Amino acid sequence: MTRRTEKAMKRFWWMITASFLLAVSPAIERPAFGQAAGVTSAHFEDVSESTGLSLRHHSPFSEERHLHLAMGSGVAWLDIDQDGWPDLCFGQGTAWPESTAQINENSSLDRIFRNQRGKFTDVTLEAGLLNARYSMGLAAGDLDNDGFVDLMISCFGSHLLYRNNGDGTFDDVSSQLNSVPSILSASCTWIDCDQDGLLDLYVTNYVEIDLNNYAVCTQSHRNRTVPIPCPPRKYPWPADTLYRNMGDGRFMDVSQSAGLHDCEKSAGLGVVAGDFNGDQIIDLYVANDTTANFLLINDGQGHFQDHAILAGAAFNRLGEGEAGMGVSSGDVDGDGRLDLFVGNYYGESNTLYRSEAQGVFLDVTAEYGLAAPSRTRLTFGTLLTDFNNDTWLDAFVANGHLSDRLNELGLKIPFRQRCQLFMNARGARFREASAGAGAWFQKEIVGRGCASGDFNLDGFSDIVVQDLNGPTALLQNSGDSQNQSISLLLKGRSGNRDGIGARVEVVLPDQILVRCREGSSSYLSCNDASLLIGLGEISQAVSFRIQWPSGALQTVTGVSPGTRMIIVEGHDAKLLPVMRVAP
């Protein structure tokens, strides 16, 4: 049997299995949509200007529309000074070919903003983030377990790795990563793949570009031709990269020995880490562009096998490969298992893969109301976040097309598009709430990276969005509901200091909430390290259990709604002051 025949057989049997699961899934007891039709929405206001985030993304298009110039950049929440207020770092683009002019304050640099009680100050030059390359993915994590968050930035060209000195400055230690300048990398994430307590680094690689013969493409319609960014099939597809943290400041490329070269060739864009088969070992899920997605199951020693086809997470329910962009994971239906949400191309739907147990997934996009609203959008950024604190994870997507000249061909495919907000109706269905979510949701942008975090510490999750060649948006959640939340910042001791990979189970009177500490997600982006967990209208104290990456279990009891706390593995929790600061 040839490899192509084997793949076709796997796809066939998955379609048979998916049909069976769809047939029997109604027997699973789930709340009906009508029972939850009164779910409250969330309302947002763009406060970027009033908070000091006067920033525009910079990626001027070339006449030929070179591909990487349309891909955009990510954004990361990270507390660089450990003051409890999440700061922000933005990736930036640059013109092609890249300029070699001297870097100064007017250059198109990645930008880092310090959060001072809900107001932001640009500290890029002081921090030492002097990068004028085209930046793609951002991931924040404590690579040396010294208590200060470090920063990885994947680029078109050599990657950037910044070590936090603990005084507001960073050292460039990029020489530890043997990246290839011709590879256009995308999202990246921190993950302790071999369970040694040190954060390793996974980087998705999109395409390899011949710098001396950069492929360009055109599209024709009705006797007109315009340049467009090339589809990924016009370029070679490199394997993704895994860097093992050696513990002495060095990183080793272990991609081949980790099994990544055994995966099918692909153009990777989004990645998220989590325990996707319930064996208490952190795995990886990769959204690939036009080919099968990866579900990389970890054997606990840092070796991965792709189970996506057999697990039902490689294709949509019709057995079709989609153009995956961003990806997020979370328990959307309250069964304690991590589901997957992938943003896809215009004309496709975004895809919600519901975990059915033991690493098997089912495409339930249509049943959950997410298919039709997404077919006329091209989604890059994806978030699964409880925006109204009702205990159910909602969905936000950042939309925008790749090609800006299709209207000249008479094609009614918009370049600038509206972002969307979907509220979760008690795990049974999502309903679009964009129309009532605020004036910004009526604005058309070219959405790329996005991330969630509570920038003003009011107990509600806010959103930051990168607009390709447009102004950054900081969407403050008005917190109109009376629902409560708790905020948990995890600090590991036996495992990695950031607690990346930890699982938190919060016990409520009628349900158990599961939230996980991730290294990054969405598209090219990184959410706030603190887990903000909505509790609904509950007034009594709650308890929760933490499963640390080291395997240790820790129970915390008597936590009042509205509490912010630091939890150190194996120690009593430390309460933090509750802030109510509005910009």
Q: What is the pLDDT of residue 83?
A: 94
Reported as a pLDDT band with limits 50, 70 and 90, residue 24 is: very low
Asked if 415 and 407 touch (Cβ cutoff 8 Å), the reply is yes
pLDDT score of 35 more than 60: no
Reported as a pLDDT band with limits 50, 70 and 90, residue 470 is: very high
For 6, the 3-state DSSP assignment is: helix
Partners of residue 445 on adjacent β-strands: 417
Q: Give the contacts of 350 (CB within 8 A, at least 6 positions apart).
A: 341, 342, 343, 344, 365, 370, 371, 374, 379, 382, 397
Q: What is the pLDDT of residue 358?
A: 85
For the chain, percent of residues with pLDDT exceeding 90 = 85
Reported as a pLDDT band with limits 50, 70 and 90, residue 157 is: confident
Query: What is the per-residue pLDDT across 473-510, written as a single tens digit (0 to 9) for each?
Result: 999 999 888 999 999 999 999 999 999 999 999 999 99
pLDDT score of 16 more than 70: no
Q: What is the pLDDT of residue 547?
A: 97
Distance CA 417, CA 410 (A): 17
For 308, the 3-state DSSP assignment is: helix
Asked if 494 and 569 touch (Cβ cutoff 8 Å), the reply is yes
pLDDT score of 120 more than 70: yes
**pTM of the predicted structure, to 2 decimals:** 0.92
Asked if 397 and 382 touch (Cβ cutoff 8 Å), the reply is yes
Q: Which amino acid is at 120?
A: F
Q: What is the pLDDT of residue 3?
A: 46
Q: What is the pLDDT of residue 575?
A: 72
Q: Are strands 150-156 and 134-141 parallel, antiparallel or unpaired?
A: antiparallel
**Surface-to-core class of residue 479, CB atoms within 10 Å of its CB (0-12 exposed, 13-18 middle, 19+ buried):** buried
For the chain, percent of residues with pLDDT exceeding 70 = 90
The residue ranking higher by pLDDT, 394 or 179, is 394
Six-digit token pair at 514? Answer: 């599961």
CA 410 to centroid of chain Cα atoms: 34
Residue ranges of alpha helices (H) inside 107-235 are: 124-127
Reported as a pLDDT band with limits 50, 70 and 90, residue 30 is: very low
Q: What is the pLDDT of residue 557?
A: 94
Reported as a pLDDT band with limits 50, 70 and 90, residue 108 is: low
Q: What is the pLDDT of residue 373?
A: 97
Cα distances from 504 to residues 85, 459, 462, 556, 575, in angstroms, run 22, 18, 21, 10, 17
Q: What is the pLDDT of residue 99?
A: 57
Distance CA 28, CA 21 (A): 11
Q: What is the pLDDT of residue 323?
A: 96
Residues recorded for the chain: 583
Reported as a pLDDT band with limits 50, 70 and 90, residue 131 is: confident
Give the DSSP H or E segment for 21. Answer: helix 3-24
Reported as a pLDDT band with limits 50, 70 and 90, residue 38 is: low
pLDDT, average across residues 225-245:
97
Handedness of CA 443, 449, 455, 458 (dihedral sign): positive
Q: What is the pLDDT of residue 1?
A: 43
Asked if 481 and 475 touch (Cβ cutoff 8 Å), the reply is no
Taking every pair of Cα atoms in the chain, the longest distance, rounded to a whole number of angstroms, is 71
Q: Are strands 394-399 and 379-385 parallel, antiparallel or unpaired?
A: antiparallel
Reported as a pLDDT band with limits 50, 70 and 90, residue 36 is: very low
pLDDT, average across residues 112-134:
93
Handedness of CA 153, 74, 59, 119 (dihedral sign): negative
Distance CA 335, CA 514 (A): 9
Q: Is the peptide bond before 181 cis (omega within 30 degrees of 0)?
A: no
Q: What is the pLDDT of residue 481?
A: 87
Six-digit token pair at 411? Answer: 């094609």
Q: What is the pLDDT of residue 347?
A: 95
Give the DSSP H or E segment for 23. Answer: helix 3-24
Six-digit token pair at 155? Answer: 């680029």
Computed over every residue of the chain, the mean pLDDT equals: 91
Distance CA 213, CA 211 (A): 6
Distance CA 343, CA 448 (A): 11
Distance CA 150, CA 164 (A): 5
CA atoms within 13 A on the CB side of 66: 22
Reported as a pLDDT band with limits 50, 70 and 90, residue 4 is: very low
Round to the nearest angstrom and report the end-to-end CA distance of the chain. Answer: 64
Asked if 449 and 77 touch (Cβ cutoff 8 Å), the reply is no
